[in-house]
Amino acid sequence: MGIVVRQSLKAGVGSYLGVLVGVINQMYVSTEFLSVEQYALSRILFENSLLFASFAHLGTPFIVDRYFSLFRNDDEKHGGILSFLLMLPLVGVVLFALAYWLFTPLIVRYFSKNSALLVDYHFLVIPLTVFWIYITVLDAYCRNNSRIAVPMFIREVYLRVANVLLVVIFGIGWINFDWMLYLIIAAYGFAVILLIIYIGILGKGYWRWPNQTILTRPLFKQMLGYGSFTVLGALGVNVILFIDRTMLAGERDLVNAGIFIVASYLASVIEIPRKALAQISIPILTQHLRNDDFVQLEKMNRKTALHLLLSGGLVFLLIWVNIDDIFYLLPKSNVYGEGKYVVLFLLITKLFDMAAGLNTEIILYSKYYRMATWIIIFTALLGFFLNLWLISSYGFIGAAIATSFTTLVYSVLRVGYIKYRFGISPYSAQSIQILAVFGVVFLFSYLVPAHTQTPLMAMTWIVVRTGVVCGLLGFYVWKWRISEEINGLIDTVLARFK
């Protein structure tokens, strides 16, 4: 367990450092040095590459996670699975490149009227997609060799720092916009090289033909079948996440897309606690599922949902009570500030989704995991048609409504299916208490005056409101004994001052 703990701690540090760099980049550096159109273009290229990579890799990262144990043997060079993992995505790359070439006239026609800048650079998504495919595949190989820290650092820190530096270099006039994009893509290519070098340093760079006594024809078919099914789920998730801003660029323009992207990035901060709590809870969750212990599963899920609602609600309050000052501090605040209510819509739905606990993980790690994919596919299609309908009439507000409704449907379907299949629910009496506490704290926070005239005053009021929200929320949660864990922590701290 020593190596697991060390790798997890290092990866955690890298993850939070990456979040910090990402916030600085997306909220201040890119919005300062790039025009709204340039910012939207760079994000759409990046996000579309994630979308395309999610199916062009043919499920290879999922295949290695599920089947690597069959090949694990250093003496046999892991049965040549590394070579297989590098060759399989090549098929997907060729198919993707061919499909993209065939659909290029449609792509140009769709974006030429409202987002001509995107037409000039849309082809860059091809190399970016290829690099993303191999970053995810090599990352999965490292993960299955019990090495997650360095790949995490490369993916979460190096790529973001490289992006920040190149945007700054563009901003001070050393390179033009074309070269900034080319060098950002080159940075992703270099990330692939770094991962290959790292695998070599680990002594896991086993370059041999796959062992056909292990990789038999039936197993190969099984792997492809599993990969194909998981691709549908991954594709659906990425469609839900990214289709709205691409459709905004096509149906409206890049300015609408840029406003929506900044607002959605700000709202996504609420989900940070969920990722950490999910990683901690998954081993316990899978054990309860394996033992068919649904009583303990519901108890754990309710406790997790409670703390997700608390942490998510805290972030919700901190963002929304300070929203005007946050946008005031942003570069080009007169433009990006138009997305204020996009933030509100997305915060509400993300908080509702967090309050549902680990419903996604429960379905995914149960024998009914296929249902998760069908739910995702349905909601992805729903999101696509809602965006198509609402964006044309309401712009980025329409995209926010479509995304919010899709997320709500996605969450309700998961809650309903788990209630039907396992007879458990994530909600409890404490959930109502927490919502009541949020309402009280929200009203009190608005007693703090707002007289923003300078950046210093804006930052001062943010600090004051944050202190009021945290103090009041902490007091009420402790006084009403909503969470045993939080009360125990607060009592321990208070005891030290007695």
pLDDT tens, position by position, for the chain (498 residues)? Answer: 444 445 455 555 556 676 778 788 888 888 899 998 999 999 999 988 988 888 888 888 877 777 766 666 555 555 556 777 788 889 989 999 999 999 999 989 988 888 888 889 989 999 999 999 999 888 888 877 766 677 878 888 889 999 999 999 999 989 999 999 999 999 999 999 998 888 888 776 667 666 566 666 777 787 777 777 777 777 777 777 778 888 888 888 888 889 999 999 888 888 877 776 766 676 677 778 778 778 888 888 888 888 888 888 888 988 998 888 888 888 888 888 888 999 999 999 999 888 888 888 788 777 787 888 888 889 889 988 999 899 988 888 999 999 999 999 999 999 999 999 888 888 887 788 888 888 888 787 777 666 667 888 888 888 888 888 888 887 777 777 777 777 777 777 667 776
Residue 477, domain member (yes or no): no
Tally of CB atoms within 10 A around 337: 17
Least Cα distance to 230 among 373, 90, 133, 368 occurs for 373
Query: Among 389, 411, 437, where does a domain finish?
Result: 437
Q: Is residue 443, in this structure, part of any structural domain at all?
A: no
Residues 204 and 292 in one domain: no
Looking at this protein, which amino acid is placed at residue 332?
A: K
Q: Are residues 237 and 175 in the same domain?
A: no
Answer for the pair 330, 39: CB distance below 8 angstroms, yes or no.
no
Angle at 86 between CA 85 and CA 91, to 5 degrees: 100
Same domain, 249 and 379: yes
177 and 275 inside one domain: no
Residue 452 pLDDT: 62
Residues 26 and 86 in one domain: yes
The label of the residue with tokens 């997907």 reads: 92
Give residue 357's pLDDT.
Answer: 83
Residues 131 and 254 in one domain: no
- Residue 110 belongs to some domain of the structure: yes
Question: Are residues 246 and 113 part of one domain?
Answer: no
Among 437, 453, 479, where does a domain finish? 437
**pLDDT of 204:** 64
Residue position matching structure tokens 């003496």: 75
Question: In the prediction, which pLDDT does 287 show?
Answer: 77
Asked, for residue 27, whether it belongs to a domain, the answer is yes
Tell me if 488 is assigned to some domain: no
Residue 103 maps to a domain: yes
Q: Note if the pTM is more than 0.75.
A: yes
pLDDT of residue 397: 92
127 and 255 assigned to the same domain: no
Residue 444 lies in a domain: no
Write down the pLDDT at residue 75.
54
328, 193: one domain: no
Q: In this structure, are 238 and 166 located in the same domain? A: no
CA distance 305 to 356: 6
Instruction: Give the domain extent around 129.
Output: 1-215
pLDDT confidence of residue 193 = 92
Residues 203, 236 within the same domain? no
Contact 434, 310 (CB under 8 A): yes
In this structure, are 139 and 239 located in the same domain?
A: no
In a domain, 381, yes or no: yes
Report how many domains make up the chain: 2
Domain final position from 413, 437, 461? 437
